Chains A and B, each alone.
Chain A
Amino acid sequence: MTNASAIVTEALRKEYGRNVAVADLTLNVPRGEIFGFLGPNGAGKSTSVKMLLGLVQATSGQAQVLGTRPGTPTTMRQIGFLPEHFRFPEWLQAGELLDLHGRLAGLDRATRRRRSAEVLELVGLSEQRTRPLSGFSKGMLQRIGLAQALLAQPALVFLDEPSSALDPFGRMLVREIIRTLKKQGTTVFLNSHLLGEVEATCDRVAFIKQGRVLHTMPLDASNTTQLVVELRVGDASPALLTMLEQFTGNAVRIQPPNIATIPTNGTTTLELLLADPAQLPTLAHHVIAHGAHLYALTPRRTSLEERFLEIVGNTDSGQ
């Protein structure tokens, strides 16, 4: 376990009686990374976050957050948290809530005042400082929750579904805030169902199902993730298909499914996976060399949603 890691876990497990909420969480999140934590409902995402925050005691396994045990005051001094259920004492005014959290975080009066104003401005609630939270909409409560999480300038921020109650403006704001946090070197642990949000902000994602990390992968643009290539060809032959499968090393999806039934002047749509965009010209060359007519060759990056369904499985857990 190195100090360069913000979060390190080893076979972290949580059981509630017979029910296993998290089976085996093994993670390593380097400092400064924007880390996406993806999985279907009931996969154990929130329980994992709660274990990393010391809200829930792990049944077994190891965890280190910012180099120490989760949940200790020393660790928590450097952590910000926006919970999935963002509820606050509604009889407090927005400014009072931030002042309370500033006090609990050990900030002095001047810092509390300055930071409260800054984070209220950041989430667009400056005008609402003296308004009681009882009059806040769900979206506004999520914004004030975000402000509360960032108040003490944490080194590590846990955001559990930070945009669940936000309108498109709010969602854009969250993305912008996450990007700013990245520039400042803050580590962000993002639980989100909004795969677009994850795709737009995260450096790396982990897919979790039934409390196990199934796969982690980097998301940065320079990384050559698999490419889906859609080909529309005329006069496709079974030989072309064999060639394509050998070339890509993967099965090729065909539409219509039976190549023998295609009329000679009809077109076939083929979908295949390429490991590297550099293979694209050779692919085109092979298609033409096989005597097929190439109408279209459309490469597209695999969307996170497709990867999600591929890795996690596309059966809805119903939870």
Chain B
Amino acid sequence: MQIVATLTWLTFHEARRRRMVVAALLLGGLFVGLYWLGLQAIVNELNTNDVSFLVRQGAYNFLVVAALYVVHFLTVMLSIFASVDAISGEIATHTIHTIATRPIRRWQIVLGKWLGYVLMVTLYLVLLCGGIFAVSWLAAGYLPPNPITAVGLLILEAIVLLSLSLLLGTQFSTLTNGVVLFMLYGLAFVGAWVEQIGAFLQSSAAIRIGIISSLLMPVESLWRRAAYLMQPPLANAVPTPFTSASLPSTAMVVYAIGYALLALLLALRVFGRRDL
């Protein structure tokens, strides 16, 4: 376990040395700050006009979910960009040679890195989402339903992507890994819309296409479930970019957990057997 912890520490240390932490914290802070200013302006505007409680709540909810949508997007980008080079890069530059010839097991290298990235992205998501919820509470006195579950689903998104990214990294070059990840995400993104529109039009073929794309890359479904859970039932009945006509079930969440776990286990196994 000490070996895994050392490699996890190394991942954190790298992010810190390469100023990734500073950049992410600064920009994250800027994002939350801007959100605060914007929200405050809207709150002031709504206060001067006589707006009903329901409309006010609806507006606040929309703003929080919109901010979380940005976080979801950042989660996808961050998870891919941070980890895409983690294994393949070290193989390509031969940095891995001196590490892998230490008295350690290969899977410890992958697990150490995976833990490092998962902890790092989790910490960042907690800070960012916590910031958004805090700002919403302080400026508008509003908190959406199920905030913790929503953050949990965003973290699961990150875990799915990080696990898949490390698995692909054990086999493909950084560039191929990045292309595959973004293509899969694009597929899931489009698939999710096809599924939504299909649900409105009651086209079972379109819904099936959406579900298949979600099975290939469950990240977008997790977001749609998180968005659904954060909106009050009434808001979910009104069509907005964040409402779901076809709601991803808890089975999809369980599937995503299994997906991530399988990708991680495969990554540990594949890396243990490949030539370096």
- Find out whether the CB atom of B17 lies under 8 angstroms from the CB atom of A55: no
Task: Tally A residues with Cβ within 8 Å of B.
Answer: 30
How many A-B residue pairs have C-beta atoms within 8 angstroms? Tell me.
67
* Residues in B whose Cβ lies below 8 Å from that of A106: 103
A39 at the interface (CB under 8 A from B): no
- Find out whether the CB atom of A81 lies under 8 angstroms from the CB atom of B101: yes
A interface residues with partner B (beta carbon < 8 Å): 50, 53-57, 73-77, 79, 81, 83, 85-89, 91-92, 96, 100-101, 103-106, 145, 148
Tell me, in angstroms, the Cα distance from A105 to B103 when the chains sit together: 6
- Find out whether the CB atom of A55 lies under 8 angstroms from the CB atom of B97: yes
* Residues in A whose Cβ lies below 8 Å from that of B17: 91-92
- Find out whether the CB atom of B97 lies under 8 angstroms from the CB atom of A73: no
* Residues in A whose Cβ lies below 8 Å from that of B14: 89, 91
Tell me, in angstroms, the Cα distance from A56 to B96 when the chains sit together: 13
Q: A50-B275, A87-B94 are in contact. List 4 more A-B contacts (CB 8 A).
A: A55-B97, A87-B93, A103-B2, A104-B102
- Find out whether the CB atom of A55 lies under 8 angstroms from the CB atom of B101: yes
Tell me, in angstroms, the Cα distance from A56 to B3 when the chains sit together: 22
Given the known inter-chain contacts A100-B6, A104-B3, please indicate yes or no for A145 contacting B98, CB distance below 8 A.
yes
Q: Which residue of B lies closest to A106 (CB)?
A: B103
Given the known inter-chain contacts A73-B104, A104-B104, please indicate yes or no for A55 contacting B275, CB distance below 8 A.
yes
B202 at the interface (CB under 8 A from A): no
* Residues in A whose Cβ lies below 8 Å from that of B101: 53-55, 76, 79, 81
* Residues in B whose Cβ lies below 8 Å from that of A74: 103
Render B32-73 as a binary contact track against A, CB cut-off 8 A, 1 for contact.
000000000000000000000000000000000000000000
Select one of B3, B94, B100, B102 contacting A85, CB under 8 A: B94
Tell me, in angstroms, the Cα distance from A79 to B94 when the chains sit together: 18
Tell me, in angstroms, the Cα distance from A56 to B276 when the chains sit together: 6
- Find out whether the CB atom of A91 lies under 8 angstroms from the CB atom of B10: no
Give min CB distance, A106 to chain B, whole Å.
6
* Residues in A whose Cβ lies below 8 Å from that of B103: 73-77, 104-106
User: Among A74, A75, A86, A100, which residue has the most Cβ atoms of chain B within 10 A?
Assistant: A100
Render B97-125 as a binary contact track against A, CB cut-off 8 A, 1 for contact.
11111111100000000000000000000
Tell me, in angstroms, the Cα distance from A50 to B273 when the chains sit together: 14
Q: Which residue of B lies closest to A148 (CB)?
A: B98
User: Among A75, A83, A103, A104, which residue has the most Cβ atoms of chain B within 10 A?
Assistant: A104
Q: Which residue of B lies closest to A56 (CB)?
A: B275
Q: List 16 A-B contacts (CB under 8 A).
A: A53-B101, A55-B275, A57-B273, A73-B104, A81-B98, A85-B94, A86-B94, A87-B95, A89-B10, A89-B14, A91-B14, A91-B18, A96-B13, A100-B6, A104-B102, A145-B98
Give min CB distance, A61 to chain B, whole Å.
15
Give min CB distance, A113 to chain B, whole Å.
16
- Find out whether the CB atom of B10 lies under 8 angstroms from the CB atom of A100: yes
Tell me, in angstroms, the Cα distance from A288 to B276 when the chains sit together: 63
Q: Which residue of A lies closest to B17 (CB)?
A: A91
Tell me, in angstroms, the Cα distance from A57 to B273 when the chains sit together: 8
Give min CB distance, B177 to chain A, whole Å.
19
* Residues in A whose Cβ lies below 8 Å from that of B273: 57
Q: Which residue of B lies closest to A51 (CB)?
A: B275
Select one of B94, B100, B104, B275 contacting A57, CB under 8 A: B275
Tell me, in angstroms, the Cα distance from A101 to B102 when the chains sit together: 8
User: Among A50, A53, A87, A92, which residue has the most Cβ atoms of chain B within 10 A?
Assistant: A87
Give min CB distance, A58 to chain B, whole Å.
10
